[in-house]
Amino acid sequence: MTLLLAPMEGLLDFVLRDILTRVGGVERCVSEFIRITDTLLPERVFLRYVPELLHGGKTASGVPVRPQLLGSDPVCLADNAARLAALGPDGIDLNFGCPSPVVNRHRGGSALLDEPELLYRIVLAVRQAVPAHLAVSAKMRLGLNDDTRAEECALAIEAAGAGELVVHARTKKDGYRPPAYWERIADIRRVVRLPLVANGEIWTMTDAQRCREVSGCHHLMLGRGMVANPALAQSILALDAAQPQPVALSWPALFELIEQFWLLVVANMDRSQQTGRLKQWLNLLRRVYPQAQDAFMAVRTYHDPVDVANWLKAQHLLLVARTPRVLNSAQSGPCPELALVKPSPIE
């Protein structure tokens, strides 16, 4: 089984990718989209979105990151893909799934799912513009307002030379509302031969097992479920290892990840963004960890990063006093549950 970490605009960027891939279980990441309009972007733009390109295209724990491009002009996308390819990424992914109204109004993301012939021209242009050894993949939804052209879109992407297709099992109109229609991925599997990856509404081991059964896909992409439960990928892999019990990540071990996340946020983001990023992650963690509810309520009124840093320090001391063998200072060894990579600023 291959588990991929999804691109999530405004949430799953290089900082959170770094932290989540430390936990283990994820084989590859896809970056949030890099928007291509009518300009050949300078290398610094690609590096801003995917700073891992400065380190062999991998996160600190060695997980490859595939940059994702979004746009509707085949020629311009091809030119940018060629420049991006020179930076040595794991591959190049194409976004045909973003449901953002702003993106769709500018003919990007899922808006293209009403134009299978354009999907074909985009994938073909990018495939021809980059070296043959470099993977070209795509991510799509089931459609724009309905799913009647899902198979047609998938066939166009395959015919143009994509080597892999992730299908988010909802339309743009569905947004992120449950359910995900995994059975429609199975329909697509009947007409295409390229590897398919199922995506959408996978929050638990049970969801993952059911998605595989219904979609027929062995490979999965995890998004919000992995953000809410960083051990989700490991738990899903345990299914194939005949270990039906979920992999547990204790609150002290998770809190150490939160501390390291905060250090990366402070090192790499504008001061005005810092507290919001921590609140955003804690908000999703509340789905799995009751302690995250208390943490979220404690920091939700903070706007000054100094206040957050002081709160984290106080919580750290409390946890050390209660569980000294599980959580220690940043100078000590890693938690027993995880082999953690120490944080450092992204160049």
Give all strands (DSSP E) within 108-231, no chain letters.
Answer: 135-141, 164-168, 196-199, 219-222
Cα separation, 200 vs 223, in Å, equals: 8
The token duo for 259 is 């501390």
> Where is 19: in which H helix or E strand?
helix 14-23
The token duo for 116 is 């299978």
Known active-site residue 76? no
Residues for the chain: how many in total?
A: 347
Cα separation, 12 vs 224, in Å, equals: 9
Q: Quick one: 210 exposed, middle or buried, by C-beta within 10 A (0-12, 13-18, 19+)?
A: middle
Cα separation, 98 vs 121, in Å, equals: 19
What crossing angle do the helices spanning 290-299 and 271-285 adopt, rounded to 10°? Answer: 150
Cα separation, 321 vs 33, in Å, equals: 43
Cα separation, 215 vs 209, in Å, equals: 10
Provide the sign of the torsion angle of the four alpha carbons 292, 298, 299, 305, taken in this order. Answer: negative
Cα separation, 302 vs 78, in Å, equals: 44
Question: What single letter denotes the amino acid at residue 45?
Answer: V
Could you check whether the bond before residue 179 is cis, i.e. omega within 30 degrees of 0?
yes
Is the Cβ–Cβ distance between 109 and 99 less than 8 Å? yes
Residue with tokens 């291509």: 36
* Residue among 98, 153, 217, 335 flagged as catalytic: 98
Question: What single letter denotes the amino acid at residue 51?
Answer: P
Provide the sign of the torsion angle of the four alpha carbons 180, 186, 191, 192, taken in this order. Answer: positive
- In the 3-class helix/strand/coil scheme, how is 144-159 assigned residue by residue? CCCCCCHHHHHHHHHH
Residues tagged active-site: 98
